[in-house]
Structure 1
C-alpha cells in the first residue's frame, strides 16, 4: 500500500396517514426492483483476503477502536486552541485528535461546527490530512474514515465559501431526480476535496407527521415513492463523487412527535403501514448501493415487541435490515449521546447491545472510555466474540477500500481551490434553488414585484439561529438581495416571538412602504408571529409572507397578498426566493407535503403537488 505524503495547507398536529395514498405499484417502482431478500448472506469480495490479513494483525484494542466514530475538538489534529484542548481533556481524556487516535485507535472521526472542526475549507483539509498522518504515522495500515452531517438546508456543518445547496424538502418541492443527483454530486465532490469521505445524508425518512419536531424539512416529503426516487438519486450522486452516502434513520423517523435527541419516540405503524410508508426509501437505497445506513433511536413495536430502540434491536437491524432487505453494507448508529438510546440502558450497555443487534459503527458516545472499555470487556467475558467484531471491521474496511483511502487518504490545496465553491457549482446551486421555491398564495396576481411599482420594501420577521450555510440573519439576506435587484429595502428583525413593542415598531416602520415582506418561522396557534402579520395587514400596506422553514405556516395566517415557501433560510434559498419575488425566476416548486387546516387537520388546504405559477 502506498500513501502520498500529506500536503501542508497552512494559510405540529397529529399524524394523518389517511391523507397519503400510495399504490403498491408506485412503491415497487420507487424501490427500483429491490424486492424482498429471503436471506442475508455475506458474499466474499475481491479485496476481502487482503483486508482480513489486516484484521488478523490487529490487537483486540485496535479492533475495538475501529468500531468507533468519535468527535474531537479543534481545528488542528496536533495543535488545537487551548479551549479545545481543555474540552477534549474534560470529555475524552485526550488533548488532540492525534492523541485520540493513539489511545483509542478509532476508525472514524466526525466533524462538527461547534467542535471547531470546520472553520474554512483549507483548514478542514489540513485537519483531515493531520488525522490521516496521525493514524498512518504510528505504523497502522488503516486510514481514518472522516464523516459529517452535511445534509444541506437546515443541517449544514461546512459553510461558505463551500457551495450551499437546498435541503431535502426543498429538493422534494423541485421534484427533479436529476437536480437531487446533481446536488449530491456537488456536495460529495466538495466534501471529498477537504477529506470528508462519509456523509450522513440523505435523509430517507418519510415525513407524514406535520408535528414532527426533529425531521420535518430534513425529509424529501410525505410520499414514499417520491422520497424513494430522490434518495436513489442522491445515493448515485454521492457514489459518483467518491463519498459514502448514509441513508437515515432506519427503520423510519418520519412519524414521530418526540425528538429522539431528548426522548424515546414510539412509532405506532402496523407492519403493513411500515412496509407501505417507511420501508420504500430504504429499499431504494439498498438497491442503489448505499454505503451506510444510520439507525434511529425509536421504538417500533410492530417490528420488535421488546420495545428496545431500533439501534439496539436485533429483530430490526439483523432480521429486517440485513435479512429481509438484504443489506450487507455498514450500519452506523445515530449519536449515542442522544437520550433516545440512553433511556432504557446505561452508557456501558448501549454499545455492546448495538453490536449484538447488528451495528458496525458506534457513533459519538458521550463517554468514549466507558463505551470503549465496555466493548473490550464484553469480548473478554465472552458476551461478544472477536469473530463478531471482525465481521463489522471487514465491512468498515471494505468501505474504506472502496473509497480509495488505502491508496491515498490525503487531499491537496490545489484540489480544494479547484473544487470547493467553484463558479460552476455556485451557478448550479442557484438554478436548483430557484426550481424549489413554492408559491402558495398570490391574491389578484400581486406577484411578481417590480422596483417601479413596489420599490420601497420593509423586510421583517424571524431571524432564527443560523445553520453553517447562512452568512447573516434572514432579514438582512433578504434585504441585500432585494437591493441588488433595484428595490429600496430596509430590515427590521422581529424574531420568532415578537414582543408587543417590536410589533408596534414594525407597524410604524410599514408606514409609507409599498410592500412588507415577513419571514415566518414555524408559526403555531399561539405564536406572536400571527399577531405581527395581522397587525401589518391592518395597516393596508400589502403583506407578503415567506415561510423560511416549514411550509405549514400558511395555514395559520390570513390577509396576506402572497405567500411563498423556501423550506430553509440559507442564503442560496433566500436569494432564490427573492429572484422569484421579483420575477427574475418563475415559481415552479410544488408542495412535497400536504398543508392541513389549523382548525381541522382532516381538511387539506393545499395538497401534495400544489403550487402556483405566474401568468
Structure 2
C-alpha cells in the first residue's frame, strides 16, 4: 500500500480527536509508540486497533531492543541487553547465536501480538566503550562477532514475520556525545570508518529490510549528519553497499538534527538525501508544521 513518508507519535494510552485527525492525514504513513502510550498488552492492542480503524494501512512501530531500550514491559518478557550475547559469544559462540536468535523471535512475536508491526532493531553499532548512549545496546566490539550475532537475531525476527531495521548507520559507537542532546562529531577518516563501523552494515545490507542513519557528522567524509547526507545514503548505502530496503530517519526533533535548519528544512533535506520515512516525534507542533 502507498504510505505517507511521515512517522508521528500520539499523546497517551488512547487516541484523542487531534490524534485521529493527524493519523488520517495522507502525508502520515506510520506511528511510533513510546512508554507513555503503553500499559498492559490488552491496552496496547486496543490502541493499535483504534489506530487502524483510522488508517488500516498504518505501520505501527516501537523501540523494543531489550535491556535499557524496551518500551513494552508490563506483561512482556524482560529482554537482556544485546551485549550479554556478545559476552556469551566470547565463551561459547554457538550457544550465543542460538540465544540471540531465540531472543529476536520472542521479541518479534510479543510485539506483533499486540498489533505492532516492527521494532527498530537490531543495533549494528559496535561497543568500543566510548558511547554511553550505545554501550550495551551493541552486540559486540568486533565487527565479525557483531555481524554473526545480529544476523542470528534477525533470523529470529524474520521467523516471527517481522521486518528488520538496522541502526545507526554508518555507526554511532565511536563518539561520546548523545545525539538526543548534542550533535556528535566523529573525526575519523573514511578508511577508519570503512574498516570498522561499516563492516556489519556492509555484511548485512542485503538482508536488512530497513536502516536508520545516525544523527552524527563525519566531517572527513561529509559536512552533513548521515541522515541528511546524500553521500552516505545514496552513494555509500545504496550504491556501494547495495541496500534496497527502506531508510528511516532518526527523530528530527533530536538535538543532533537541529543544526540543519527549521523542521520543514530538516524534513525536506532528509527526504532529498534519501530517507523514505521521516520521524518527527514528541513535538506535535513540529509534526504539524511539515504537513502540506
Ranges of 4+ aligned residues in structure 1 off by more than 3 Å: none
TM alignment of 1:312-327, pairs within 5 A: 312-327=228-243
Q: Which runs of 5+ in 2 are unaligned?
A: 90-95
Q: Which residue of 2 aligns with 1:102?
A: 24
CA contact (8 A) 1:286 1:327 kept: yes
Q: 1:103 to 1:344 in 2, by over 3 A?
A: closer
TM alignment of 1:5-84, pairs within 5 A: 55=2, 66-77=4-15
What is the distance in 2 between the residues matched to 1:332 and 1:122?
28
Q: 1:330 to 1:313 in 2, by over 3 A?
A: same
Q: Which residue of 2 aligns with 1:190?
A: 110
Give the deviation of 1:318 after TM superposition.
Answer: 0.5
CA contact (8 A) 2:39 2:74 kept: no
Give the deviation of 1:126 after TM superposition.
Answer: 1.1
Alignment of 1:229 with 2:158, yes or no, is no
Q: Which residue of 2 aligns with 1:168?
A: 82
Alignment of 1:302 with 2:208, yes or no, is no
CA contact (8 A) 2:248 2:277 kept: yes
What is the distance in 1 between the residues matched to 2:131 and 2:32?
26
Alignment of 1:118 with 2:20, yes or no, is no
CA contact (8 A) 2:246 2:276 kept: yes
What is the distance in 1 between the residues matched to 2:19 and 2:164?
24
TM alignment of 1:428-577, pairs within 5 A: none
Q: Which runs of 5+ in 1 are unaligned?
A: 1-50, 56-62, 78-84, 86-94, 137-142, 374-615
Give the deviation of 1:221 after TM superposition.
Answer: 2.1
What is the distance in 1 between the residues matched to 2:166 and 2:225?
18
TM-score normalised by the chain length of structure 1: 0.45
Stretch deviating more after TM superposition (156-165 or 352-361): 156-165
What secondary structure is seen at the aligned counterpart in 1 of 2:24?
helix
TM-score normalised by the chain length of structure 2: 0.92
Alignment of 1:290 with 2:208, yes or no, is yes
Give the deviation of 1:99 after TM superposition.
Answer: 2.0
Q: Which residue of 2 aligns with 1:431?
A: none
Alignment of 1:344 with 2:266, yes or no, is no
What is the distance in 2 between the residues matched to 1:97 and 1:244?
25
Q: Which residue of 2 aligns with 1:149?
A: 63
Give the deviation of 1:96 after TM superposition.
Answer: 4.3
* Number of residues of Structure 1 aligned to a counterpart in Structure 2: 283
CA contact (8 A) 1:231 1:284 kept: no
Q: Which residue of 1 aligns with 2:179?
A: 260
What secondary structure is seen at the aligned counterpart in 2 of 1:354?
helix
What is the distance in 2 between the residues matched to 1:133 and 1:207?
41
Q: 1:167 to 1:96 in 2, by over 3 A?
A: farther
Indicate the structure (1 or 2) with the bigger Cα radius of gyration.
Answer: 1
Q: Which residue of 2 aligns with 1:393?
A: none
| Residue of structure 2 aligned with 1:200, choices 98, 117, 120 | 120
Question: What's the CA shift string for 1:473-494, capped at 9, x where partnerless?
Answer: xxxxxxxxxxxxxxxxxxxxxx
| Residue of structure 2 aligned with 1:272, choices 191, 197, 208 | 191
> What do you get for the CA RMSD once the two structures are aligned?
1.5
Give the deviation of 1:233 after TM superposition.
Answer: 1.1
What secondary structure is seen at the aligned counterpart in 2 of 1:234?
helix
What is the distance in 2 between the residues matched to 1:334 and 1:317?
13
What secondary structure is seen at the aligned counterpart in 2 of 1:256?
coil
Give the deviation of 1:190 after TM superposition.
Answer: 0.7
CA contact (8 A) 1:229 1:284 kept: no
What is the distance in 1 between the residues matched to 2:169 and 2:220?
14
What is the distance in 2 between the residues matched to 1:105 and 1:193?
27
What is the distance in 2 between the residues matched to 1:103 and 1:145?
14
TM alignment of 1:359-374, pairs within 5 A: 359-365=275-281, 366=283, 367-373=286-292
CA contact (8 A) 1:235 1:285 kept: no
